[in-house]
Amino acid sequence: MTKKQRRELTASEVAAAARLKAEFEATKPTHGLTYERMAIQLGWTASAPSHYMNGHVPINMEALIRMCALIPGANPRRVFPELFEGIPFSFDDDPEGLLDSFYAISPELQQSILTIISANSKK
């Protein structure tokens, strides 16, 4: 069996991985977060966070939001702005549509989003 080759990451994916890793590294000394602890909390394999942050695999929306929820101060939109292009996040535009979209995602992703909102509202 041959190993499936991964595609190369785009420049924006590489930059996002570097920004996510920088956010993670900045909080390690004060919060004691490690790849292993992050993986356990997310229900992933121990190597998954490292693979995302070191640019071995592209970061998808759900992974980004869930990892940022565990990294104090990390904002998914700042980490990977290109991923959010064309996605409105204003309650003024369509509050019902935004809520419908929120309720359509997995409960785990909903919780991650709420964690980010809560952390950012305390600043």
Q: Which residue has the higher pLDDT, 14 or 106?
A: 14
Give the tens place of pLDDT for each residue, 38-71: 999 999 998 999 999 999 999 998 899 999 989 9
Q: Tokens 């490292």 map to which residue?
A: 50
**Residue 74: burial class (beta carbons within 10 Å; 0-12, 13-18, 19+):** buried
Percentage of residues in the chain having pLDDT higher than 70: 83
Q: From CA 74, how far away is CA 36, in angstroms rounded?
A: 18
49 and 35 in contact (C-beta within 8 Å)? Answer: yes
Whole-number Å distance between alpha carbons of 23 and 78 = 10
Task: Quickly name the fold that domain 11-121 has.
Answer: 434 Repressor (Amino-terminal Domain) (1.10.260)
Least confident of 84-93, 96-105, 112-121: 84-93
Q: What's the rounded mean pLDDT across residues 76-86?
A: 87
pLDDT at 98 over 70: no
pLDDT at res. 44: 95
Q: Is 60 helix (H, G, I), strand (E, B) or coil?
A: coil
**Mean pLDDT, the chain, integer:** 84
